[in-house]
Amino acid sequence: MDHADQIARLCLQQYNSFGKGGAKPRIRQDGRYEWTVLAGIVLSVQSEWHCIALATGVKALPFSHLSKHGDLLHDSHAEVLARRAARHWLLQRLLDENDDLISSHLKGIPRIFVRNDNRFGLIEDAHLHLYCSTLPCGDLSSSLIADEKHDNEAPSPTVLRGRTMSSSTQTHIRTKPGRPDAEPSISMSCSDKIAHWTLMGIQGALLYGIIGKVSLQSYVIGNQAFPDQADALEKCQKMLRRKCGNGPIPQIAFATLPFLHSRESVQEDLLNHKPDACVSGPSDERDLVPSANSLVWCLGAKPQGIVEGHRQGAALRRSAGEPLRQSSRSTFCKLDWFRFVCDAKKRLDMQLTPNATYSECKEAITEYRNHKDLLRGLSGINSLDRPAYQQQSINAFLGQQSFPSPSLIDSEAPFAGWLVSSHSLEQFNHNGHEIVQ
Ligand SMILES: [Zn+2]
């Protein structure tokens, strides 16, 4: 693909334009060097290219840290945050275009939305491209990492924990990798999420109700770790194809430009300074450690530093039943996204269900929900029985209960076994108050 380096360059330049410090990787006081992953989303329209969202990060919260108020970012991997920031920008952009129906360019970018009946949509000429400085965690990287450890299979028929390798040929989905001795995250791997976005779009349920499906046209990966590009490319395409079936998949390409704070770049820097440093394996953190922070940004806003799902340096006290204060939350957390969508719908004269919870508003986008249920093999389960099924799946994954009977779901569905916390963790209203049904 001609534009791989162009897409990477825009993201890298944007990253470099943010000052040093803040949430960027650093050398710790104990002498350990931090690294991270960078992801960005680039918009191409009428032969113009603009980076609209950017994020770094390699951390996800363990299950016991998740919030019922929607006020924390549960998954702070770079790709996931970049996607959240991109959809925020898209909605802001729609509002800007709707407020100014005359100008052909707004804020230096050509118009990208048209009105389709009672909804909006991207013009044919507008496309989104995902850049990531390395392969996403999960199947896409596992298939290419030669020294991957072969652990025992997880007990679930379909969900594997982190880097556990599958010995069968069945397509599995897996959760985010983490230290084997740490409490697990129930967030699904970025490989699975990217495959899911390929089929469902990157916009999520609420924005689907406003602008329909937004697909990724291409997927650009930094190739520092994989010198045999052709082989890596073929494996990536195969893996995505296996998860996505015969539908369209983004064009995959490798970029040649290095990312300053990638594991490989930081390792090289470290070895130049300390030739005897220990950098041998993914879990060896004596001298080289993944950064605990994330940075997230969308065009037109200031970059935010994130740690453990909230703003860096923010006050973390919650009053009883209340969410974190707005200044402690990321603009991209579920609660702020929900508030933004409700506000946007008012400004766009679109129908709103007053006092509905975040979960109810998502469920109300039936076309999107039905498609998602089909992909997760849930169509055969009565909607009233789903919360119990989902809770049992999470409990079983955490080793607290047996797995629900595989016969309940369509185990051939590409994302059968996907862990969702929507019933227990998305019952909050636009004030962040949990509504107990
Ligand atoms: Zn990831």
Measure 200 CA to ligand 1 centroid, in angstroms. 18
State in Å: Cα 168 to ligand 1 middle. 23
Region 20-42: mean pLDDT is 94
Longest dimension (CA), the chain: 65
- Average pLDDT on 218-245 reads 84
Beta strands per DSSP E along 212-335: 216-222, 251-255, 288-290, 293-298, 304-307, 310-311
Q: Where do the H-state alpha helices sit in 149-286? A: 190-200, 204-211, 229-244, 263-273
Residues serving a catalytic function are 79
Mean pLDDT of the chain: 88
CA of 130 to the centre of ligand 1 (A): 14
**How high is the pLDDT of residue 283?**
56
**pLDDT higher than 70, residue 165:** no
pLDDT of amino acid 281: 65
Which has more confidence, 371 or 397? 371
pLDDT score of 232 more than 90 = no
Q: What is the pTM of this model?
A: 0.93
In tens, the pLDDT along 83-137 reads 999 999 999 999 999 999 889 999 999 999 999 877 899 999 999 999 999 989 8
pLDDT band at 184 (very low <50, low <70, confident <90, very high): confident
How does residue 403 score in pLDDT terms, banded at 50, 70 and 90? confident
Residue 178: what pLDDT?
Answer: 75
Least confident of 58-62, 270-274, 313-317, 418-422: 418-422
So what's the pLDDT on residue 153? 36
Highest mean pLDDT among 17-26, 290-299, 421-430: 290-299
Q: What is the pLDDT of residue 72?
A: 96
Inform me whether the pLDDT recorded for 150 exceeds 60: no
Query: What pLDDT band is residue 146 in, cutting at 50, 70 and 90?
Result: very low
Q: How would residue 169 be classed by pLDDT, with cut points 50, 70 and 90? A: very low
Task: Specify the pLDDT at position 162.
Answer: 62
- Greater confidence, 171 or 88? 88
- How is the chain split into domains, by residue range? 4-355
Q: How far is the CA of 342 from the centre of ligand 1 (A)?
A: 29
Q: What confidence score (pLDDT) does residue 1 get?
A: 58
Cα 301 to ligand 1 centroid, rounded to whole Å: 24
pLDDT of residue 168: 45
Cα–ligand 1 centroid distance for 334 (angstroms) = 19
- When pLDDT is cut at 50, 70 and 90, the band that residue 38 belongs to is very high
| Strand 251-255 relative to strand 216-222, pairing | parallel
Nearest to 40 by CA among 32, 51, 25, 30: 51
Please give the span between the terminal C-alpha atoms of the chain, in angstroms, as a whole number: 51
Rounded percentage of the chain residues whose pLDDT exceeds 90: 60
Residue 153 CB: number of other CB atoms within 10 A? 15
**pLDDT computed for residue 148 by the predictor:** 40
* CB contact at 8 A, 288 and 30: no
Ligand 1 centre distance from Cα of residue 3 (Å)? 24
Rounded to whole angstroms, the Cα distance separating 147 from 167 reads: 16
